[in-house]
Structures are given as structure tokens and as C-alpha cells.
Amino acid sequence: MTVQRIPAQQRTWDAPADRVFAWAVHAYTASGAVLAFLATLAVVNGRYRDAFLLMTAATLVDATDGLLARRARVSTVTPELDGARLDDIVDYLTFVFVPALLLYHAGDLPAGWSLAVVSAVLLSSAYGFSSTDAKTSDHFFTGFPSYWNIAALYLHAARLAPAINAGVLLALSGLVFVRIGFVYPTRTPVLRGLTIALVAVWTVMVLAIVLTLPSVPAPLLIGSLFFPVYYTVLSLVLHSRRS
């Protein structure tokens, strides 16, 4: 008797083990919402370093869940759940809402118009997340990709004047609407290996910054800016080429 083999690409992916793996990946993504809740509690209680640690953990989840989702083929195995929408909901909480709340609560914004600045951050990012071209087919973010957790860390650690912090946040809010392509660090193919290697070094420095709050050594804070500068320059160069 001849046994017919089914090509790998034609096999079904709804076996129990596949679905368990796919749902576990969704749960891993959703755990970022729990981290956002814990970070919110930390902010309300004035534990800003703990809040940044929790946001760092949420960032690590976000940086790794995409790889797991593609490996688990979540869109095929669990078509009833939109993993991309789940990821956006969690990202809005961890990358937008919590950082904005922290800067507001910590007094890093001008007392007279802090609510207006926070509103600009929240509303512009709501537009950014909802835009149909927020992520391009060639793996770029369109407009400032709502890295408010990073902006909040630098502004809080640098102890700049509240008016300067407000100006930076308003400028970044405006950049959400500028259709510049920003690098997607783990997926943009150009110099991806170098970018990921630099991200690894920078992540260690960011963790050191968080752990040394509220008195961050100036050389550490300034030295860590190497990656934001690299990221911005690379994004602008690649955007000009794409244009």
C-alpha cells in the first residue's frame, strides 16, 4: 500500500499542540497589559524606577512576541483572534499611556499646561496606531512610532526643565503625522544584523539607566544616546532612498 505524504505547506495547523502553542503566544503578548497595569500602580505610588523596570519588561515582551507569533503561525492556527490588534492595544498601554502618566505624575511637565501636552501625546498616538499605513509592507513604521517609553525615560532621567520636556513631547507628537519611514529594528532588512547588535548593547545601557534612577551618571545617559542617533540617521537615509 502506498502512503501519500502531504507536503509541509499543505498540512493543517489546527492540531491541539499547535493551538496550545498559538494561544500561549497570544497570552504572552497580552501579558504586556498586566505589566502596564502594574506600572500604573507603581507610578501612582511614586515608584518611578519600578515603573520603568516594568515598562522595560513590557518592551522585551513586545520585541520577542512577533518572532514567536510567526513561528506559531497564529494567524493560521487561531484565525478567530487578531494578534496584530491585540499587540496594538497592549503597545498603546505600555508605550503611550503609562509613559505619559509617569511624566505627568512625576512633575516633569509644566504645571499650567501638562494636561494639554499629555493630551497631544495620547491623541496623536491614537491616530498613529489607527493609521492604515502605520506599518509598511517593506517593514517600516510611518511617522514617529510612539516610542514614548524611551522619550519618557530620557526626559525623566535628564532632569530637564519642564518646559523643555513639553517642547520635546509636542515636537514628537507632530512627527507622528509626518509620513517619514522609521526603521522597524527587528524586521527592516537593511543593516538588520548591525541594528540588532546595537540594540542589544543599548538595552544593557538602558537597564543601567533605570537601575541608577533617580541619579543617573551623565556619561551613561549621554553615551546611551548613540543608538537613538544611529536609529534616526538610518531611518532618514533609508526614507530618502525609498522616496
Calculate what percentage of the chain has a pLDDT beyond 70: 94
Q: Which of 134, 140, 243 is nearest to 189 (CA)?
A: 140
Residue 11: the pLDDT is: 46
Q: Please give the C-alpha separations between residue 24 and each of 18, 28, 79, in angstroms, as whole numbers.
A: 10, 6, 14
The domain locations on the chain are 11-242
Residue 182, SS3?
strand
pLDDT in tens, 10-27: 444 457 888 999 999 999
- In this predicted structure, the answer to whether residue 96 has a pLDDT above a threshold of 90 is yes
Q: Please give the C-alpha separations between residue 129 and each of 53, 88, 124, 203, in angstroms, as whole numbers.
A: 24, 7, 9, 24
